[in-house]
């Protein structure tokens, strides 16, 4: 069955504004509803469909010989929301006959004078609003049921088959104020005219379309969210063309504000800064109660900016006044902490000098880091010596392979026997060199490992912290 829908009308005037509400009830059945008692529930109760019509059969597990049957895990049905509210179409509201007579009387008085015409028009507009207020007899009793809210229509309701009925459920004063709301993602150059609506009706208001009037003039339309008593919503209904907004973004990185040395690393921390300058030109003849919505990033924090009056899921919301016929700027500045990490053993002497000039390190830390550089240079030199010895060993292997090939090609003549002896002596000398090179490499490895150990010990002993 279809769910009921709501439609609202806001009547704004210099006094307390008025809200009127109707429920749209659809009878999709094939029989008339004659003088039925109607109750309308606001909320979102859990509701779902479940097949009780189709026959069910219990599936039995197959038991095999010398095997134990396994049970499949139970499955739960997913629950669906009770209903999804939809926007109602256009609804025509009938005017009372006394309003039509007042319109005719007003038109006859227009010829008297301009001053009298203005006074008459305003009087008629106020009477029209009063007529609207009188034209909605609301006879509804409200009941709270847990977290739900129930409207009980006191008079019987008749709805013909396949037709709909418009049932008045609400007519009361509320607390509201005209404001403007700017969100660059909604409209880049203009704010939206809106009503700061506070639900002081004492009722739970279901969401639905809302039409706004002021002194009998149509202002625009909006959507009202579901509101519990005393909840607030900014209801935007039209574009405020009398106000122009421009945005000037800027970003920068601030100087290093913290240095921390520990465990062989230096961490340099600084702030990344972004700011947006909103320039607001109010061309109207009245001051604007201005709401500015600024999208935020959870990693960034406000700095040198007034605190927002509230924070939504994705936006900061700032509130301030823009005087009539004036241009005003509002700056939103945000920053995030960023850091870079430097490996101390890869530091050069030039870098140390640069750090000392900027007071990233003190003289004691400088001397300790100079010792680190000396150990690092020593390790580098040892590694070069090891590489040279390894290259010499490769040369020995190459020469030995050449000599062995020559030996294989020699015969048994006297000259060849003499040459063979020379080759054998050469191989013996190369073997001595190879043994010496390998001993040198082993010694260099020990020196390198010992120096690395000293380097690690010295790096762990260097700690420094400075804040600027």
Question: What are the tens digits of pLDDT across the range 309-345?
Answer: 999 999 999 999 999 999 999 999 999 999 999 999 9
pLDDT at 68 over 90: no
Instruction: Please name which of 149, 122, 168, 155 lies closest in space to residue 8, comparing C-alpha atoms.
Output: 168
Question: What are the tens digits of pLDDT across the range 182-221?
Answer: 999 999 999 999 999 999 998 889 999 999 999 889 999 9
* pLDDT for the residue 222: 94
Neighbouring C-alpha atoms within 13 Å toward the C-beta of 443: 8
Question: What are the tens digits of pLDDT across the range 392-430?
Answer: 999 888 888 887 887 777 777 777 777 777 878 888 888
Domain ranges of the chain: 243-345, 347-467
State which H helix or E strand residue 402 sits in.
helix 363-409
* pLDDT for the residue 1: 62
Enumerate residues 6+ apart whose C-beta is below 8 A from 378. 451
Enumerate residues 6+ apart whose C-beta is below 8 A from 297. 334, 336
Distance CA 373, CA 265 (A): 14
Separation of first and last alpha carbons in the chain:
69
pLDDT at 69 over 80: no
Q: What is the pTM of this model?
A: 0.66
Tell me the pLDDT of the chain averaged across its residues: 82
Instruction: Please name which of 43, 103, 52 lies closest in space to residue 77, comparing C-alpha atoms.
Output: 52
Distance CA 224, CA 6 (A): 10
Highest mean pLDDT among 71-85, 115-129, 369-383: 369-383
CA dihedral 423, 426, 432, 434 (to 10 degrees): -80
């Amino acid at each position: 069955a279809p769910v009921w829908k709501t439609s609202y009308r806001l009547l704004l005037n210099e006094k307390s504004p008025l809200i009127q509400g109707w429920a749209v009830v659809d009878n999709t059945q094939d029989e008339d509803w004659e003088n039925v008692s109607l109750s309308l529930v606001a909320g979102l109760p859990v509701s779902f469909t479940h097949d009780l019509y189709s026959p069910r059969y219990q599936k039995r597990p197959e038991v095999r010989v010398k095997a134990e049957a396994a049970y499949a895990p139970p499955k739960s049905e997913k629950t669906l929301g009770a209903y999804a509210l939809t926007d109602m179409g256009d609804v025509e509201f009938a005017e009372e006959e006394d309003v039509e007579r007042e319109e005719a009387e007003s038109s006859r008085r227009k010829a008297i004078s301009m001053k009298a015409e203005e006074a008459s028009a305003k009087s008629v507009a106020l009477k029209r609003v009063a007529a609207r207020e009188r034209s909605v007899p609301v006879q509804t009793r409200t009941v709270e049921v847990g977290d739900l809210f129930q409207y009980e229509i006191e008079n019987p309701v008749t709805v013909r088959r396949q037709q709909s009925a418009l049932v008045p459920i609400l007519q009361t004063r509320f607390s509201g104020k005209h404001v403007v709301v700017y969100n660059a993602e909604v409209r880049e150059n203009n704010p939206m005219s809106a009503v700061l609506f506070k639900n002081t009706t004492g009722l739970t208001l279901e969401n639905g379309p809302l039409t706004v009037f002021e002194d009998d003039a149509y202002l625009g339309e909006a959507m009202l969210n579901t509101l519990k008593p005393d909840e607030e919503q900014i209801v935007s209904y039209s574009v405020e063309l009398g106000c122009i907004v421009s945005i000037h973004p800027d970003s920068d990185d601030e100087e290093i504000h913290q240095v921390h040395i520990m465990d062989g690393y230096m961490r340099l921390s600084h702030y990344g800064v972004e700011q947006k300058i909103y320039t607001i030109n109010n061309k109207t003849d009245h001051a604007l109660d201005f709401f500015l919505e600024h999208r935020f990033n959870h990693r960034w924090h406000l700095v040198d900016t007034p605190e927002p009056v509230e924070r939504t899921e994705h936006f900061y919301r700032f509130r301030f006044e823009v005087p009539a016929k004036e241009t005003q700027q509002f700056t939103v500045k945000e920053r995030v902490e960023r850091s870079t990490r430097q490996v101390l053993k890869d530091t050069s002497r030039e870098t140390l000098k640069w750090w000392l000039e900027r007071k990233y390190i003190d003289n004691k830390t400088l001397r300790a880091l100079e010792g680190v550089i000396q150990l690092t240079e020593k390790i580098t030199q040892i590694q070069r010596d090891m590489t040279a010895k390894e290259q010499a060993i490769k040369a020995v292997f190459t020469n030995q392979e050449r000599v062995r090939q020559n030996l294989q090609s020699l015969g048994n003549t006297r000259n060849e026997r003499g040459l063979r002896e020379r080759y054998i002596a050469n191989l013996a000398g190369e073997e001595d060199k190879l043994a010496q090179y390998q001993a040198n490499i082993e010694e260099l490895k020990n020196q390198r490992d010992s120096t690395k150990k000293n380097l690690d010990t010295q790096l762990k002993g260097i700690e420094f912290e400075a804040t600027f």
